[in-house]
Amino acid sequence: NPNTRLAYYRAVCRFAQWCEQRRIELPHLNPVLIAKYVHELGQVSSPPTVKQHLAAIRMLFDYLVTGHIVPMNPAAAVRGPKYVIKTGKTPVLTSQETRQLLDTIDPHSFVGLRDRALIGVMVFSFARVSAVVGMNVDDYFQKGKRWWFRLHEKGGKYHEVPAHHKAEAYVDAYLALAGMTAAKKTPLFRSANRLRQLTGRRIHRTEVWEMIRRRARQAELPVNIGCHTFRATGITTYLENGGTVERAQQIAAHESPRTTKLYDRTHDEISLEEVERIRI
């Protein structure tokens, strides 16, 4: 995944700078020194960040061992901080809030139709933003009587999911006004210029994040939402309406149901009735 590679690159550069500042040569690195680095990093960074940096260092030394640069991986024996998460922290919108957000988008402009279609695909297919912005026009295709989305998720996963009828309507309206139906091998979701006209360039996920914040302000919704909000919102709404974790896992292309459950917020709120059971 490009984002993971970039994060690992930054982690390795930080470790290399730490070694350089202390004049530690590559042959002298051992588990004790790496454990010291991990401990110092833990004083200024969160446990997930420390675990990610340690994973990057382990991968670096695995590569060096394979290339016969070093005889062993000194990071293999180093333990990272314990960090267990059972509930996701991604902000989630209710179905009413999501409807409010979609309804405030102007459906009479290229940009408005693009934004509505993009959010609709994320909500109704549980797709990551990187998979959605990576779609071409021919990744929205007809199979039988239904339309489908072809998604290329992280880890090289090839994933197809039927298009929800609302997402289908959003994408159809967007393609019809933009006149891109025949341009099969071009980006489905494109950036806009200063004149609010679509360009031929694929929209970047950072632009999507900025768009979502802007749309949230317009709809008078919490502005702390992001791209992943719609993945969590879609899964939570699906489960609230009787869907199963197993099917949600299949739609979201998760490896484990434990990952899917992190997006399930159906039991987040504690009711007053439950608190009143504490009878003293």
Q: Please compute the mean of the pLDDT values over residues 178-195 and round it to a whole number.
A: 86
Report percent pLDDT > 70 for the chain: 89
**Backbone angles phi and psi of 69, in degrees to 5:** -85, -40
Tokens of 212: 């979502």
Element (H, E) at 269: none
Question: What is the value of pTM for the model shown?
Answer: 0.69
What number is the average pLDDT over the span 246-254? 80
pLDDT in tens, 126-143: 888 989 999 999 999 998
**How many angstroms from the chain centroid is the CA of residue 62?**
27
β-pairing, 190-192 vs 146-153, is: unpaired
**Gap between the Cα atoms of 80 and 38, Å rounded:** 7
Backbone angles phi, psi at 186, to 5 degrees: -105, 160
